């Protein structure tokens, strides 16, 4: 695909790297010659120096023939303008990075009215990732479908797990839990299991369901869903705002430590339920006084990466809290991972990953009706979301009557916003969206998974 | 320095040379010549060595600008050294150094020959000699980039080291597609020339070889008198195509894309054509009456101007005996050279334009010491570092020129011979003036001078820096 990226900052450069690695034709636009030089020296891309919102610069970068324009400069308004101009002049798909909380409330309005394909908010995405980590502390990865309402959660089974040595059909009969085990990874092999499949210790299991159903499921199988009840956040930026609002919604008591008076005022206006402390979060005394030892989650979200890492290490040494640190710029991932701090959140990777996912889906869906596509378990499994069209062979039949190919499993059906985990009697209607997992590659259409 | 990856790419280069050399074998088969055997032997040897070298995968894939430069220079040296072997084996050029000179001259599209009589070459030998022009014109590594899936950052470094011109302009985001487009344009124009020459009544073999020679802006002739014995029509066709091959190839890309606005904005092509036209008129005036009619004078003048400015180096008349003014113009054209991004050599028109503009700026700054002025080209600002690198290029160019000139003078020939021989090799032209003029050749130089001139040809083709890096101790130590 031909892709134009406006803005070569952290996110832009990460995106460029990943998209060129996947073989796309990438052109980058940035206002600074030196930035463009460094990107074109490192990656096989074309560079254009100029203001990405200018029609002339866009024409030079070949937006007319492009399939997608991604605007990820630091300025929300500029990004939106870039997309608007590209949309009007070339009618290509557009993705904009918009992170101001003021816009975030009207994000779907902006998206619809300006005709954007996707709006990505790195701060919001990072906050969401942190909230998920706190919600399912044992989850290794969480992929979402149907606008975030269906989750595929991967976790490892240990010897003490209730699921250990259990056949899948026994999950409902013995444990009375409702959950769909969709993929099992054992060693290097990946299975799409049926009812007779026996789960063993060490398996990495992916469960599909809505957030609430999954929560219930994990409670039933006695996995530690005990989410943190108190959280301490250092730093009061945009990510903190998004995270705090989500945590408060989850019923977590949030304490925010921020140095800047104006920011504290603003936060306390927006988040009446949170406790805002105006103090220097890097001060040991302050942290101890505000109960670092007793908190169950500690999240370092200041603007300085090194500070975040230090804070998380300190929290880890002093309390049982799950420490989480945000790292934005520093590129020594390996060393940071070795430090064994706990969870590190890289907003640039999260942002890039969700855009790359969109690009993959777009690439795959040219001429097909795939909505979302994820590759999971080292690319051995594909999870796809389809819209059911009128000509689908499934329509009107109970699922038990439809014979699917081996290694295909339907995980969820979204019927007009009502999400169900499919059973034998479930019926699919036109206009529904279904999520399915498969180990066979190249599924382009829902008809491809029907056994001939 | 990552030696294993360089070894890997050099092995690829060797296999590509084998691939190219199968063509003279085919020619030998068609004409039933036994001179084809040495080519077949070298092909087999190259394939074997290349295959062995390629089987051992490189230990690490680290590849930086330094590796790019070294790989490109070594590849070109290797191509010349291997390409010379068949000539020695079939006795057409008995001396190995002479053969290397001939092939290096071919690959770098210089066209300076040590052969005094073209009759010594068999059909297949002549084919290989001229075909090296076509290979070298666009560059071997660019072709490898277009065909082999060398992914990662290498391709950019290689492309930068091999393509002629002050800055590498990619046409499309990917190096690989860019290389494919360039070779596509190259191939199509070459084919057009073959057809055009066939229409003027030349046999297929001659049309093909003359087209190779023109396409690479090389200038090896098939006959002793270069172009003089061909019809005026053939000469005219060759003149037009020489000028076409001297144009920046990205201009053709604009035409393909129907982007005529950018095509007409291209200052370099505009000045290139203006320089050709003005020089041709001045020379016509200067040599009026020599060739009978004014039309004939103009024909000779423009052919000679085209062949020199594009650094091809054909000749249809002995310009050595033309008036001094004409000779001086031709010598200046030698130094200017063709457009950047074409197959031609020389200092490049775009560099000259930037230099002149920077001189103009300097004068303005002298008058208005507080003035801030940027150099514009094609409606865009030329970045300061590009201007700086062009100045440095000029300095290196002059240094190499003078030191080579000094060494070549050891042989004791006259000033004009030495001075123009170095100019003709460094700018990849071919014929100079005096002893190395259109009727002369380079056979009389000593071994040392030949080595220096080979170095000049390679340095000129690869834009000086890559070859110079080979001589820097630090390149090899770290």
Calculate mean pLDDT across residues A197-203. Answer: 85
pLDDT band at B163 (very low <50, low <70, confident <90, very high): low
pLDDT the model gives residue B46: 94
- DSSP string over B242-307: HHHHTS-HHHHHHHHTT-HHHHHH-HHHHHHHHHHHHHHHHHHHHTTTTTSSHHHHHHHHHHHHHH
Which residue of A2, A41, A46 is in closest CB contact with B170? A46
CA distance B400 to chain A (A): 29
pLDDT band at B24 (very low <50, low <70, confident <90, very high): very high
Calpha distance A113→A111 (Å, rounded): 6
Calculate mean pLDDT across residues B320-333. Answer: 91
Q: Average the pLDDT over each of A144-148, A417-421, B337-341 and give the range with the smallest value.
A: A144-148
Q: Average the pLDDT over each of A270-279, A284-293, A350-359, B423-432 and give the range with the smallest value.
A: A350-359
CB contact A18 to B (< 8 Å): no
A65: which chain B residues are within 8 Å (Cβ-Cβ)?
Answer: none
pLDDT band at B180 (very low <50, low <70, confident <90, very high): confident
CB atoms under 10 Å from CB of A214, counted, come to: 24
Q: Do B173 and A41 touch (CB under 8 A)?
A: no
Q: Are the C-beta atoms of B251 and B266 separated by less than 8 Å?
A: yes
- Over 60: is that where the pLDDT of A179 sits? yes
Calpha distance A385→A402 (Å, rounded): 18
The two beta strands, A297-300 and A230-234, are: parallel
pLDDT the model gives residue B126: 93
The token duo for A176 is 């009375």
Most confident segment among A135-139, B85-89, B162-166: B85-89
Helix B447-461 to helix B96-107 angle, to the nearest 10 degrees? 20
Residue A419 neighbours by CB under 8 Å, 6+ apart: A146, A149, A150, A210, A412, A413
The token duo for B446 is 């000593």
**Whole-structure pTM value:** 0.80
Tell me the percentage of chain B whose pLDDT exceeds 90.
50
Residues β-bridged to residue A93:
A68
Higher pLDDT, B24 or A333: B24
- Over 70: is that where the pLDDT of A131 sits? yes
pLDDT the model gives residue A58: 92
Domains A2-120 and A126-220 fall in the same CATH topology: no
pLDDT band at A378 (very low <50, low <70, confident <90, very high): low
DSSP summary character for residue A446 = G
CA distance A378 to chain B (A): 22
Higher pLDDT, A146 or B451: B451
- Over 90: is that where the pLDDT of B456 sits? yes
CB contact A303 to B (< 8 Å): no
Calculate mean pLDDT across residues B104-108. Answer: 93
Tell me, rounded to whole angstroms, the distance of Cα B477 from its chain centroid.
31
Calculate mean pLDDT across residues B37-45. Answer: 94
For A230-350, the fitting CATH number among 3.40.50.300, 3.40.50.720, 3.40.190.10, 3.20.20.100 is: 3.40.50.720
Burial B244-271 (b: 16+ CB within 10 A, else e): bbbbbbbbbbbeeeeeeebbeebbbbeb
For chain A, the domains span: 2-120, 126-220, 230-350, 369-449
Calpha distance A66→A68 (Å, rounded): 6
Calpha distance A25→B233 (Å, rounded): 45
Calculate mean pLDDT across residues A305-314. Answer: 90
pLDDT the model gives residue A114: 85
pLDDT tens digits along B206-254: 999 999 999 999 888 888 888 888 999 999 999 999 999 999 888 898 8
pLDDT the model gives residue A369: 66
Calpha distance A210→A422 (Å, rounded): 12
CB contact A67 to B (< 8 Å): no
A25: which chain B residues are within 8 Å (Cβ-Cβ)?
Answer: 172-174, 177
- Over 60: is that where the pLDDT of A341 sits? yes
CB contact A40 to B (< 8 Å): yes
Alpha-carbon distance values, B286 to A23, B49, B326, B334 (Å):
58, 56, 7, 18
pLDDT band at A234 (very low <50, low <70, confident <90, very high): very high
pLDDT tens digits along A12-24: 998 998 888 878 8
CB contact B383 to A (< 8 Å): yes
- Over 80: is that where the pLDDT of A371 sits? no
Q: Do B153 and A27 touch (CB under 8 A)?
A: no
Q: Average the pLDDT over each of B115-129, B147-161, B293-307 and give the range with the smallest value.
A: B147-161
- Over 70: is that where the pLDDT of B73 sits? yes
B355 membership: H or E segment, kind and range: helix B349-367
Mean pLDDT score across all residues of chain B: 88
CB atoms under 10 Å from CB of B243, counted, come to: 21
- Over 70: is that where the pLDDT of B154 sits? no
CB contact B175 to A (< 8 Å): yes
ipTM for the complex shown: 0.79
Calculate mean pLDDT across residues A438-448. Answer: 75
pLDDT band at B426 (very low <50, low <70, confident <90, very high): very high
Calpha distance B373→B362 (Å, rounded): 9
Higher pLDDT, A407 or B398: B398
**Scanning every residue of chain A, which has its alpha carbon at the shortest distance from the alpha carbon of B169?**
A46
- Over 70: is that where the pLDDT of B306 sits? yes
- Provide the 3-class DSSP secondary structure of residue A79: helix
In the CATH hierarchy, which fold is given to the domain comprising A2-120? Rossmann fold (3.40.50)
Residue linked to tokens 């492009």: A66
pLDDT the model gives residue B418: 93
CB contact A369 to B (< 8 Å): no
CA distance A289 to chain B (A): 51
Residue (of B101, B151, B106, B43) closest to B450 by Cα position: B101
- DSSP string over A326-365: E-SS---HHHHHHTT-SEEE-HHHHHHHHHHHHHHHHHHH
- Over 70: is that where the pLDDT of A377 sits? no
pLDDT tens digits along B240-290: 999 999 998 888 988 888 878 878 888 889 999 999 999 999 999 999 888
Calculate mean pLDDT across residues B103-125. Answer: 90
Taking the domain A126-220, which CATH number applies?
3.30.70.1450
The token duo for B218 is 């090389």
- Over 60: is that where the pLDDT of B153 sits? no
A43: which chain B residues are within 8 Å (Cβ-Cβ)?
Answer: 153
Taking the domain A369-449, which CATH number applies?
3.30.70.1450
B152: which chain A residues are within 8 Å (Cβ-Cβ)?
Answer: 44
pLDDT the model gives residue B106: 93
A2: which chain B residues are within 8 Å (Cβ-Cβ)?
Answer: 173
């Amino acid at each position: 695909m031909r892709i134009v990226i406006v803005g070569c900052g952290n996110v832009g450069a990460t995106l460029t790297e990943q998209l060129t690695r996947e073989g796309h034709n990438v052109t980058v636009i940035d206002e600074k010659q030196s930035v463009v030089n460094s990107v074109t020296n490192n990656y096989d891309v074309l560079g254009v120096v100029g203001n990405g919102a200018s029609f002339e610069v866009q024409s030079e970068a070949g937006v007319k023939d492009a399939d997608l324009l991604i605007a990820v400069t630091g300025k929300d308004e500029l990004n939106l303008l870039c997309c608007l101009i590209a949309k009007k002049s070339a009618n290509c798909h557009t993705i904009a990075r918009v992170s101001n909380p003021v816009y975030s409330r009207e994000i779907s309005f902006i998206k619809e009215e300006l005709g954007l394909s996707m709006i990505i908010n790195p701060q919001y995405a990072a906050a969401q990732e942190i909230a998920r980590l706190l919600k399912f502390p044992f989850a290794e990865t969480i992929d979402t479908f149907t606008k975030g309402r269906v989750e595929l959660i991967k976790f490892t089974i240990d010897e003490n797990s209730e699921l250990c040595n259990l056949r899948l059909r026994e999950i409902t009969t013995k444990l009375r839990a409702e959950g769909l085990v969709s993929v099992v990874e054992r060693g290097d092999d990946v299975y799409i299991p049926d009812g007779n499949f026996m789960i063993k210790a060490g398996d990495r299991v992916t469960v599909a369901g809505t957030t609430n159903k999954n929560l219930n499921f994990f409670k039933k199988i006695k996995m530690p869903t005990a989410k943190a009840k108190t959280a301490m956040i250092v730093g009061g930026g945009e990510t903190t705002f998004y995270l705090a609002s989500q945590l408060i919604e989850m019923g977590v008591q949030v304490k925010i430590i921020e140095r800047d008076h104006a920011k504290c005022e603003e936060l306390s206006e927006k988040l009446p339920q949170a406790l805002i402390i105006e103090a220097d979060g890097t001060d040991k005394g302050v942290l101890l006084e505000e109960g670092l030892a007793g908190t169950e989650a500690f999240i370092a979200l200041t603007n300085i990466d090194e500070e975040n890492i230090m804070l998380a290490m300190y929290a880890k040494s002093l309390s049982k809290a799950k420490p989480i640190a945000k790292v934005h710029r520093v590129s020594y991932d390996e060393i940071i991972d070795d430090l064994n701090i706990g969870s590190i959140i890289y907003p640039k990777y999260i942002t890039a990953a969700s855009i790359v996912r969109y690009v993959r889906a777009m690439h795959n869906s040219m001429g097909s009706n795939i909505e979302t596509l994820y590759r999971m378990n080292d690319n051995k499994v594909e999870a796809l979301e389809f819209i059911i069209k009128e000509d689908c062979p499934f329509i009107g039949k109970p699922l038990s009557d439809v014979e699917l190919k081996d290694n295909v499993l339907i995980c969820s059906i979204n019927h007009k916003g009502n999400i169900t985990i499919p059973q034998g009697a479930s019926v699919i209607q036109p206009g529904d969206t279904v999520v399915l997992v498969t180990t066979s590659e190249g599924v382009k259409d829902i008809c491809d998974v029907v056994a001939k | 320095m990552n030696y294993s990856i360089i070894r890997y790419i050099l092995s690829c280069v060797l296999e590509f040379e084998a691939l190219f050399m199968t063509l003279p074998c085919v020619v030998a088969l068609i004409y039933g010549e036994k001179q084809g055997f040495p080519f077949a032997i070298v092909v087999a040897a190259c394939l074997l060595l290349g295959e062995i070298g390629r089987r051992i995968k490189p230990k690490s894939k680290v590849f930086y600008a330094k590796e790019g430069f070294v790989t490109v220079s070594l590849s070109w040296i290797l191509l010349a050294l291997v390409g010379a072997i068949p000539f020695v084996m079939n006795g057409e050029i008995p001396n190995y150094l002479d053969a290397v000179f001939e092939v290096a001259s071919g690959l770098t599209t210089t066209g300076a020959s040590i052969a005094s009589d073209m009759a010594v070459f068999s059909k297949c030998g002549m084919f290989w000699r001229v075909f090296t022009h076509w290979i070298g014109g666009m560059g071997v590594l660019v072709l490898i980039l277009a065909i082999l899936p060398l992914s990662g950052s290498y391709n950019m470094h290689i492309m930068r080291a091999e393509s002629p011109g002050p800055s590498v302009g990619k046409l499309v985001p990917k190096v690989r597609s860019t290389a494919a487009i360039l070779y596509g344009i190259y191939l199509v124009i070459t084919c057009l020339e073959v057809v055009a020459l066939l229409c003027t009544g030349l046999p297929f073999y001659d049309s093909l070889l003359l087209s190779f020679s023109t396409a690479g802006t090389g200038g090896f002739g098939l006959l002793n008198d270069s172009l003089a014995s061909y019809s005026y029509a053939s000469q005219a066709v060759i003149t037009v195509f020489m000028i076409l091959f001297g144009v920046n190839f990205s201009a053709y890309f604009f035409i393909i894309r129907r982007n005529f606005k950018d095509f007409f904005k291209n200052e370099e092509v505009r000045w290139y054509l203006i320089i050709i036209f003005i020089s041709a008129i001045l020379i016509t005036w200067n040599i009026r009456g020599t060739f009978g009619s004014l039309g004939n004078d103009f024909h000779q003048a423009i052919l000679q101007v085209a062949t020199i400015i594009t650094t091809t180096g054909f000749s249809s008349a002995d310009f050595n005996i033309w008036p001094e003014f004409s000779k001086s113009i031709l010598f200046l054209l030698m130094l200017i050279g063709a457009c950047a991004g074409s197959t031609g050599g020389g200092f490049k028109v775009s560099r000259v334009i930037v230099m002149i503009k920077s001189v103009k700026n300097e004068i303005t700054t002298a008058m208005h010491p507080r003035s801030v002025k940027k150099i514009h080209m094609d409606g865009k600002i030329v970045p300061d570092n590009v201007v700086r690198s062009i100045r440095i290029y000029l300095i290196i160019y002059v240094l190499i020129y003078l030191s080579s000139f000094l060494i070549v003078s050891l042989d004791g020939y006259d000033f004009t011979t030495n001075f123009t021989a170095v100019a003709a090799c460094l700018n990849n032209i071919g014929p100079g003036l005096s002893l190395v003029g259109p009727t002369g050749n380079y056979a009389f130089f000593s071994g040392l001078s030949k080595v220096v001139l080979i170095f000049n040809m390679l340095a000129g083709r690869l834009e000086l820096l890559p070859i110079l890096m080979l001589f820097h101790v630090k390149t090899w130590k770290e």
